[in-house]
Amino acid sequence: MSSPETETDNKSETKQDTSEAIAEQHGHDHEGHDHAHAHTHDTEMPMNEACKREISVEIPADVVSKFTEKTIKKYQKLARIPGFRAGKVPSTIIKSRFMDDVRSEVVDALIPEHFRAEVEKQGLIPVSQPRVTDLHFHENDPLKFKAVFEVLPEINVAGYTELKTEKKDISVSEDELTEALKSLQERQAAYDAVEDRELQDGDYAQISFSGTAKGTKAVAEKKAEIASKKKAEKNNDPPTVQDAINQKVEEEIAKPVEVNEVLVEIGGKNTVKDFSDNLRGAKPGDERNFDVTYPDDFNDQRLAGQVMSYAVKIQGVKKKNVPELNDEFAKELGEFATLEELKSRIRENMEAERKHEIEHAEKEKLIDELVAKNDFPVPQALIERQIDVRLERGFRALAAQGMRTDDMRKMNFDRLRSAQKDAAVREVKASLLLDRIAELENLDATEEDIDKELESAAAQSKQSVEALRSRLTKEGSLARLRDRIRNEKALDFLYSRSA
């Protein structure tokens, strides 16, 4: 299950982002005044009232003054002002010219530091970026502000020891084993050339073809009707601008798809009927031209409802020869001395795959039951971050399928985010519950667990374990990896206990 690992990452990141978030809120003028407004923006994320906390912080005047003077001295050293030697600019000049910048630096440095100290003093762990309000910053006075943020709710996990899973049979029947062997036979089949014979059902036509889209059935019929009328009228008038534009568009749409060296089974259950009908009886060297109207529910959505015009050249006739199921067949696969050994391995693999599928499905049911039994408020920050994770995962999948970035940008992101909310809430709750169960059951990620994960990841990314560990440590990702393993152990614990 992906949800616990992702959400735990988000909680770990929040602690690191707190200082930067506070600093970003105050990158503007701080000439001595009171900030009675809340520093909110239209895009600012709402908070869950049940998880919201507010603290008041007061930084002593002497601390503020000392840091202010230190910052002014830094400006004296760095400032380049005509009429004054480098490093000798009077503090009065600095104050008159750069005091706004000095105050900003003071706020950006002191507020994060004293915010952290106060939340630690009160035993609070923020999981959202704090929102600073009511900032009071006057010369020779304490610097005062309030900070509003979300914290994790108190979670008392109920009913996790009572969860049950269904015991399912993973054994493979003889019929299923036979089907698996047939599939393996098919993959090992040879396609032998047949000389001087027409294509018939059961043969494989080796062809090359080009396909040109004519549009949907209605569009194709309309085009044919217009072409027929034009031919009947024999209009010799010069083409209009619109005619030229239409022609250009049609040429662009009608660019053919070229395919070389493909095998088509004549009369095969997966062969489009029009191909079988038009190629049956043909010989090598023959050419056939025909249209195919694909049904609206065709399994390839790119072709569903379309009319395609094909020009096909038959290059050869081939017969499929499937090897016999015997010891020789098993030996040719490289690892087996007998057919029985091959059957045994296939059965083992099928049972292992079935066991994995059942375990995954049952764990998902456990999570659903666990979430249903435990109702608690969820910080909005964690939900929003999990929505981000889900969308990012979806965009990567779309990119892998060939979707362009420009097309992704045209999507309705508000609608996309809204559609992901329920799943994100479930995943966040699952993560928090598993985290709490791991704590109650003293489950943790050992160094051996970490090393095993790093070795696997390093092998996939083709880098050394040491280099990967160093990078993850710098990024703060090692702690997130530890959290993910811990949650996975909690889920494994639930599954083994419930079986």
Query: What is the Cα–Cα distance from 92 to 81, expressed in whole angstroms?
Result: 13
CATH of domain 190-321: 3.10.50.40
**Among 33, 152, 138, CA closest to 429:** 152
Report percent pLDDT > 90 for the chain. 59
For residue 361 the two structure tokens come to 């499905």
Q: Is the pTM of this model over 0.75?
A: no
**Among 265, 270, 253, 266, CA closest to 306:** 253
- 8 A C-beta contact, residue 179 and residue 241: no
For 304, phi and psi rounded to 5 degrees? Answer: -55, 125
For residue 222 the two structure tokens come to 């309309």
Tally of CB atoms within 10 A around 300 = 8
pLDDT in tens, 321-363: 999 999 999 999 888 999 999 999 999 999 999 999 999 999 9
Residue 486 has pLDDT above 90, yes or no: yes
Domain boundaries, the chain: 3-150, 190-321, 338-498
pLDDT in tens, 235-281: 554 454 445 544 544 554 556 788 888 999 999 998 999 999 999 99
- Report helix angle 447-461 to 477-498, nearest 10: 110
- 8 A C-beta contact, residue 22 and residue 130: yes
pLDDT category of residue 138 using cuts at 50, 70 and 90: very high
338-498 CATH, one of 1.10.3720.10, 1.10.3120.10, 3.40.50.150, 3.40.50.970: 1.10.3120.10
How many alpha carbons lie under 13 Å from residue 227 in its C-beta half-sphere?
A: 7
Domain 3-150 fold is Alpha-Beta Plaits (3.30.70)
pLDDT score at 15? 45
Neighbour-count burial for 160-199, b at 16+ CB within 10 Å, e otherwise: beebebeeeeeebeeeeeeebbeebeeeeeeeeebeeeeb
pLDDT in tens, 206-223: 999 999 888 766 555 655
Lowest mean pLDDT among 54-68, 217-231, 352-366: 217-231
Report percent pLDDT > 70 for the chain. 83
Query: What is the Cα–Cα distance from 304 to 34, expressed in whole angstroms?
Result: 65
Q: In a 10 Å sphere around its CB, with 0-12 CB exposed, 13-18 middle and 19+ buried, how is residue 395 labelled? A: middle
pLDDT score at 120? 95
Query: What is the Cα–Cα distance from 476 to 470, expressed in whole angstroms?
Result: 10
- Identify which of 20-34, 89-103, 270-284 has the greatest average pLDDT: 270-284
